[in-house]
A and B are shown apart, each in its own frame.
Chain A
Amino acid sequence: MLVNKKKMAALIDSNAEQGQVKGRSQWQDAMRRFKGNKASLISVFVLAAMTLFAFLGPLLSPWDHETIDWELIGNAAEMGAPQFANGHFFGTDDLGRDMYSRVLQGTQISLMVGFVGTLVAVTVGVLYGAIAGYFGGAVDNVMMRFVDILMSIPYMFILIILFVMFGRSVYILFIGLGLFSWMDMARIVRGQTLTLKHKEFIEAAVMAGVSDFKIIVRHIVPNLLGIVVVYMSLMIPSLILLESFISFLGLGIQEPLTSWGALISDGASTIQYGTLWQLAFPLGFFVTGLFCFFFIGDGLRDAFDPKDR
């Protein structure tokens, strides 16, 4: 993914140096540093507010995301502009559906795609990387060669074929996006695991006869959380962007559900017909959301990497 590799590398070094013993204080330090970063902190609040709004906001509107206002259908340009009188706070789309509810519904979906997709990617990436790193040797070699190969595949194309094949559903989106984004994570985690493996507490666990799987899940994975958190904050916005691209191609979410990408794509196509609110509101949410994610990502990265500044 589009993550700054050098920074990630620096972060990995620092994380490895600090290691297990200072684990708790590392988190505390990071949080302290993060709180000092104004832009990131504000972003957290904005994003939290947006998420809350996305789920609670629909309660404020008399309209839901799919019900057609038969008074307005087909008259978006003349009568569909945002107004409070008829309850369409963000105006309506061409079919007389309420943009306010649709934007909030799209926000839910897009945030979910970002989070769940990232969760899938991180789960696969962490387990894969941890297994490869922990077992080492031939297993590691084969597994990482496979990652190398996958990484030089223009996966967007495979993704398009997948969407064409399986039709559309939210689950395909989650899984499709997630499954094609775990490779970087796997690499980083493997590197980390290699260094962790020789720490005393792991060796002690091995001596005590704890099973390999347990060691990976109980002892190695928890120690990778710092990187994982940073990485997630960077991956979420990139998945949201990816989803918007897929939606533009008409391969995204199924109507009447919608997403930021689908709404923006629709809005952009009617840009010349005097219904700018159809583009402006979803684009506003989209841009604000992504700004927040970027700032939070930057903040977390800096917070976990004390060498910077």
Chain B
Amino acid sequence: MFSFIVRRIGSSIPTMLILILISFALMRLAPGSPFSSDRGLPPEVLANLELKYGLNLPWFEQLFVYLKGIIFDFDFGPSFKYTDKSVNDILAQGFPVTLTYGIWSFVAAVAVGLPLGIVAAVRHNTKLDYAAVGFSIGAQVLPNFVMAPILVIIFTLWLNWLPGGGWNGGQWQYVVMPILALSTSYMASIARITRSSMLEVLHANFIRTAKAKGVPMRNIILRHALKPALLPVISYLGPAFVYMITGSVIIDIYFSTGGMGQFFVDAALNRDYSLLMGVTIVFGVMTIVFNTLVDITYAWLDPKIRL
């Protein structure tokens, strides 16, 4: 276990380096500059800006200075667009927001999707099953940029139950709609995967034996079937979480949560190099950490796998 984690950390370093290199290179190759504007700037001002942000150095030196700042001072540099703020400030603002609704969405997706899938499998080919399958495919294909305005129309305009956007430090009223919009399609995917893997397990010989022995259905499911049935679900959770975080762009745009997703797109559009790199690195680390967690859980559930 311990050595697995050490190995994982070891392998994540080249991964991060490659990620940083790719995004750094892409960004610098992109046409346009962070300082371009409708009118353009006088050369003296431009030179000063380049000096301030270190853009006068050769690219490898820029990269080196940048990495050094992160590693030794945990400093992601100043933002190019938000001149009054540093990237650290923006990450400190956006990261907790994205993480909060991301984790709650994740929890909601698992907490609803898993039971739904299990019930559908146990009641295979009943109305309940059909309803669950219908819901999960429907929910999976409904884009959340359609769902978000519908949610606002219902809960804000008609019912006046929830504020139509904002974050307010994460008060629950502000978090409900982002979670709903973000989690639904993953809820559906999890339900579908759970159902099909549960069905498979329920047809397996050891379950048939247990049934024949007269073990109550409830016990069969909880004690015997659940664990093997969960494996494919677990392996889906890693990518699902990454997808959720990616989908957070839409949540941020519609619900003005001030999360990281929109900062990323915005940074890419504005050539805010340092902010873009900062967000990419944070998301990269999150992806790696989450995949590691998923692998550990997987190993814990499946004794055949050694870490």
A contacts, CB < 8 Å to B: 1-2, 4-7, 10, 148-149, 152-154, 156-158, 160-162, 164-165, 237, 241, 244-245, 248-249, 261, 264-265, 268-269, 271-272, 279, 283, 286-287, 290-291, 294, 298, 308-309
Residues of A within 8 A of B29 (CB): 165
Residues of B within 8 A of A4 (CB): 193, 196-197, 232, 236
Known A4-B197, A283-B146: A249·B249 in contact at CB below 8 Å: yes
List the one stretch of B9-17, B43-51, B83-91, B212-220 in contact with chain A: B9-17
**A269–B197 Cα gap in the complex (Å)?**
38
Given pairs A153-B15, A268-B145, A272-B153, 6 additional interface contacts (CB within 8 A): A5-B232, A6-B231, A154-B287, A162-B26, A164-B268, A271-B150
- Among A152, A158, A272, which residue has its beta carbon within 8 angstroms of that of B22? A158
Which of A161, A244, A308 gathers the greatest number of chain B CB atoms within 10 Å?
A161
Using CB atoms, name the residue of chain B closest to A1.
B239
CB distance from B72 to the nearest CB of A (A): 24
Question: Are B196 and A7 in contact, with the CB atoms below 8 A?
Answer: yes
Residues of B within 8 A of A268 (CB): 143, 145-146, 149
Known A149-B18, A157-B280, A244-B143: A7·B232 in contact at CB below 8 Å: yes
Q: For residues 130 through 145 of chain B, which have their beta carbon under 8 Å from a beta carbon of chain A?
A: 137-138, 140-143, 145
**A213–B11 Cα gap in the complex (Å)?**
31
Question: Are B283 and A248 in contact, with the CB atoms below 8 A?
Answer: no
Whether a CB of chain A sits under 8 angstroms from the CB of B200 is yes
The digit string for B212-253, where 1 denotes a CB below 8 A from any CB of A, is 000000000000000000011001100110110111011000
Can you spell out 13 A-B residue pairs with CB atoms less than 8 angstroms apart? Answer: A2-B243, A5-B235, A7-B232, A149-B11, A153-B15, A157-B264, A157-B279, A245-B145, A248-B250, A264-B143, A265-B145, A287-B138, A291-B141
Known A164-B269, A244-B143, A271-B150: A152·B264 in contact at CB below 8 Å: no
Known A4-B196, A5-B235, A287-B142: A152·B23 in contact at CB below 8 Å: no
Question: Are B239 and A2 in contact, with the CB atoms below 8 A?
Answer: yes
Question: Are B141 and A152 in contact, with the CB atoms below 8 A?
Answer: no
**A158–B287 Cα gap in the complex (Å)?**
14
Residues of B within 8 A of A237 (CB): 141
Using CB atoms, name the residue of chain A closest to B146.
A268
**A80–B15 Cα gap in the complex (Å)?**
53
Question: Are A6 and B264 in contact, with the CB atoms below 8 A?
Answer: no
Known A148-B11, A165-B31, A287-B141: A271·B236 in contact at CB below 8 Å: no
Interface of B is mostly: helix
Question: Are A149 and B30 in contact, with the CB atoms below 8 A?
Answer: no
Question: Are B265 and A249 in contact, with the CB atoms below 8 A?
Answer: yes
Using CB atoms, name the residue of chain B closest to A162.
B26
Question: Are A271 and B231 in contact, with the CB atoms below 8 A?
Answer: no
Question: Are A158 and B23 in contact, with the CB atoms below 8 A?
Answer: yes
Instruction: State the 4 A-B residue pairs at the shortest beta-carbon distance, nearest first.
Output: A6-B232, A290-B141, A156-B246, A165-B30
Question: Are A309 and B203 in contact, with the CB atoms below 8 A?
Answer: yes
Known A4-B232, A158-B22, A272-B153: A152·B12 in contact at CB below 8 Å: yes
Whether a CB of chain A sits under 8 angstroms from the CB of B291 is yes
Whether a CB of chain A sits under 8 angstroms from the CB of B288 is yes
Residues of A within 8 A of B264 (CB): 157, 160
Whether a CB of chain A sits under 8 angstroms from the CB of B189 is yes
Known A7-B232, A291-B141: A152·B287 in contact at CB below 8 Å: yes
Residues of B within 8 A of A1 (CB): 239
Residues of A within 8 A of B287 (CB): 152-154
Residues of B within 8 A of A261 (CB): 143
Question: Are B143 and A241 in contact, with the CB atoms below 8 A?
Answer: yes
Residues of B within 8 A of A5 (CB): 232, 235-236
Residues of B within 8 A of A264 (CB): 143, 145-146
**A158–B246 Cα gap in the complex (Å)?**
11
Residues of A within 8 A of B27 (CB): 161
Question: Are A161 and B15 in contact, with the CB atoms below 8 A?
Answer: no
Whether a CB of chain A sits under 8 angstroms from the CB of B19 is yes
**A7–B31 Cα gap in the complex (Å)?**
44
Question: Are B231 and A154 in contact, with the CB atoms below 8 A?
Answer: no
CB distance from B254 to the nearest CB of A (A): 10
- Among A7, A10, A153, A248, which residue has its beta carbon within 8 angstroms of that of B19? A153
Which of A157, A160, A264, A265 gathers the greatest number of chain B CB atoms within 10 Å?
A157
**A7–B138 Cα gap in the complex (Å)?**
22
Which of A153, A160, A271, A290 gathers the greatest number of chain B CB atoms within 10 Å?
A153
Residues of A within 8 A of B141 (CB): 237, 241, 286-287, 290-291, 294
**A309–B14 Cα gap in the complex (Å)?**
43
**A264–B146 Cα gap in the complex (Å)?**
8
**A264–B141 Cα gap in the complex (Å)?**
12
Question: Are A152 and B291 in contact, with the CB atoms below 8 A?
Answer: yes
Known A2-B239, A6-B232: A248·B145 in contact at CB below 8 Å: yes
Known A165-B26, A309-B203: A153·B284 in contact at CB below 8 Å: yes
Using CB atoms, name the residue of chain A closest to B17.
A149
CB distance from B51 to the nearest CB of A (A): 26
Using CB atoms, name the residue of chain B closest to A146.
B18
Question: Are A153 and B18 in contact, with the CB atoms below 8 A?
Answer: yes
Residues of B within 8 A of A271 (CB): 149-150, 153
**A53–B151 Cα gap in the complex (Å)?**
33
**A190–B118 Cα gap in the complex (Å)?**
33
CB distance from B284 to the nearest CB of A (A): 6
Q: For residues 244 through 300 of chain B, which have their beta carbon under 8 Å from a beta carbon of chain A?
A: 245-247, 249-250, 264-265, 268-269, 276, 279-280, 283-284, 287-288, 291
- Among B12, B137, B146, B283, which residue has its beta carbon within 8 angstroms of that of A154? B283
Using CB atoms, name the residue of chain B closest to A9.
B232
